[in-house]
Amino acid sequence: MKCKLRVTDVSTGMYVAELDRPWLESPFLFQGFTVESRRELSQLRETCQYVFVDLERSRSDLQSRIRRQAVLDRGKPSQTVQEEAPPEHRFKAIKRELARALDIREKTRQYVDVLMDDARLGKHVSVQGVKTVVTELLDTILINPSASLWLIQLREKDHHTAQHAINTAVIGMIFARHEGLDRDAIESVGMGGLLHDIGKVKVPRSVLHREGPLSEDELKLMRTHPEQGLRLLEQSGGVPEPVKRIVVQHHERLDGSGYPRSLVDRQIDSLALLVGLVDLYDAMCGDWPGNPALSPHRALAKLRREEEKGFGRERIERFIKCMGVYPIGTVVRLSNGAKGMVVSHNRTSRLKPVLMMVEDPRGTPYRKRPLVDLAGPRGSSGAEWQIESALDPAEFGEDKIRTITTTETIL
């Protein structure tokens, strides 16, 4: 049962099933979520006047209160919307969140590098270690999905594999939450995302880093990585079954075109399909031998065009909705020729995000990168600008993107 409550009556532990406006016009990436922090609560209060709370999915000790409040609400006029925080406060908060995300990213990357080295040397994978990292990532996601998407922006060449593992875990958990999965399933997706390609440590480096097409034998070797990964995890012991299924099935596709077993439809674990989709998306956004990186915006369009048979149209549509029209990290060209990178989605419209400006209309880089809100009030900078197009990393310059996404430029 859904109960209409004023936002001032919502508390942590309640499951918000609907807002008083479309989800895309809100800062929330998840269409339906349990309020878990004060921060989420205040975001909710800044965005809406009332929401619909799902009684059964809310904490049991809150249910009678929800019933009471919902009844009380009928007779009362709705409250006026609170004023949005002044832009300079919001921008400060965004910068703080990005800096924090960068810290976590660095720590996680170091951990994953060690994990890969250990696996390469034949040491056991510490399940507890992976779980701890995933829990920390998940906490970041729950507090601020926008900032946690910033975790995935740095694509350094030497840490390519580690970064891809982190990206798959982070985006996977965000999508899993958007799909309404419970905490256990979201954690499995995180662990599976982090470990999905661990079997590649058994594939010769000459094959992994080959530029140009692989020979038939090399391709066969490459395609052993899901089963090699499963073997590795079985030797380590204690890895939950859903995580193992994700690792061994992440290249299976609904139409049977995947590997290693050419499974079809229901034979494939739904979490493995979810991770498979996210894995492919992140691979498209990264620069791999023979495949130049696409902008997140174009990668989503390509998934929609080419991957329907592999993952199912609805799953892909839901993923696109989850990532937003211009995913965080997309470099866009504005109507006046200036360029900026999407750093935060906006509560008023996903088509008008907050940008970190990187080049002025003449192409001169900004030394201090200003933040601009395309949905800002009339007369503010950015309010008259519109996004003209999303740029692929090669079009804008991979090195320039790397410079933008380092700590120094954000602080």
CA angle (152, 156, 161) in 5-degree steps: 75
Q: Least distance from C-beta 200 to Fe ion, angstroms? A: 7
Q: Is 365 helix (H, G, I), strand (E, B) or coil?
A: strand
Strand 339-344 with 33-34, pairing = unpaired
Q: Is 252 helix (H, G, I), strand (E, B) or coil?
A: coil
Placement of tokens 């800096």 in the chain: 99
Among 1-9, 30-38, 211-219, 277-285, the segment contacting Fe ion (CB under 5 A): 277-285
In the complex with Fe ion, the residue whose CB is nearer, 97 or 279, is 279
Q: Least distance from C-beta 161 to Fe ion, angstroms? A: 9
The dihedral through the CA atoms of 397, 392, 197, 177 has a sign that is positive
In the complex with Fe ion, the residue whose CB is nearer, 187 or 252, is 252
Q: Tell me 264's DSSP state.
A: -
Buried b (16+ CB within 10 A) or exposed e, 106-116: eebbebbbebb
In the complex with Fe ion, the residue whose CB is nearer, 47 or 168, is 168
Q: Least distance from C-beta 276 to Fe ion, angstroms? A: 8
Residue 197 binds to Fe ion (criterion: CB under 5 A): yes
Q: Are 195 and 165 in contact (CB under 8 A)?
A: yes
Q: Which of 269, 279, 359, 373 is close enough to bind Fe ion by CB under 5 A?
A: 279
In the complex with Fe ion, the residue whose CB is nearer, 98 or 162, is 162
Among 67-75, 192-200, 214-222, 394-402, the segment contacting Fe ion (CB under 5 A): 192-200
Q: Least distance from C-beta 228 to Fe ion, angstroms? A: 11
Cis peptide before 260 (omega within 30 of 0): yes
In the complex with Fe ion, the residue whose CB is nearer, 197 or 307, is 197
In the complex with Fe ion, the residue whose CB is nearer, 279 or 359, is 279
In the complex with Fe ion, the residue whose CB is nearer, 75 or 213, is 213
Alpha carbon distances (Å) from 8 to 41, 137, 142: 9, 29, 21
Q: Residue 143 has which token pair?
A: 């507090």
Buried b (16+ CB within 10 A) or exposed e, 261-299: eebeeeebbebbbbbbbbbbbbbbbbeeeeeebbbbbbb
Residue 187 binds to Fe ion (criterion: CB under 5 A): no
Among 4-12, 189-197, 287-295, 389-397, the segment contacting Fe ion (CB under 5 A): 189-197
Q: Least distance from C-beta 155 to Fe ion, angstroms? A: 14
The 106-135 contact track toward Fe ion, x by CB under 5 A, reads: ------------------------------
Strand 50-54 with 15-19, pairing = antiparallel
At residue 333, φ and ψ (nearest 5 deg) are -100, 135
In the complex with Fe ion, the residue whose CB is nearer, 154 or 248, is 248
Q: Residue 233 has which token pair?
A: 């995890």
Residue 359 binds to Fe ion (criterion: CB under 5 A): no
Among 86-94, 274-282, 300-308, 369-377, the segment contacting Fe ion (CB under 5 A): 274-282
Residue partners of 225: CB distance under 8 A and separation at least 6: 197, 199, 200, 202, 203
Judged by CB under 5 A, the number of residues near Fe ion is 2
Q: List alpha helices for 179-224, DSSP H.
A: 183-195, 205-208, 216-222
Q: Least distance from C-beta 407 to Fe ion, angstroms? A: 27
Q: Least distance from C-beta 271 to Fe ion, angstroms? A: 15
Q: Least distance from C-beta 14 to Fe ion, angstroms? A: 37
In the complex with Fe ion, the residue whose CB is nearer, 179 or 197, is 197
Binding site for Fe ion (CB under 5 A): 197, 279
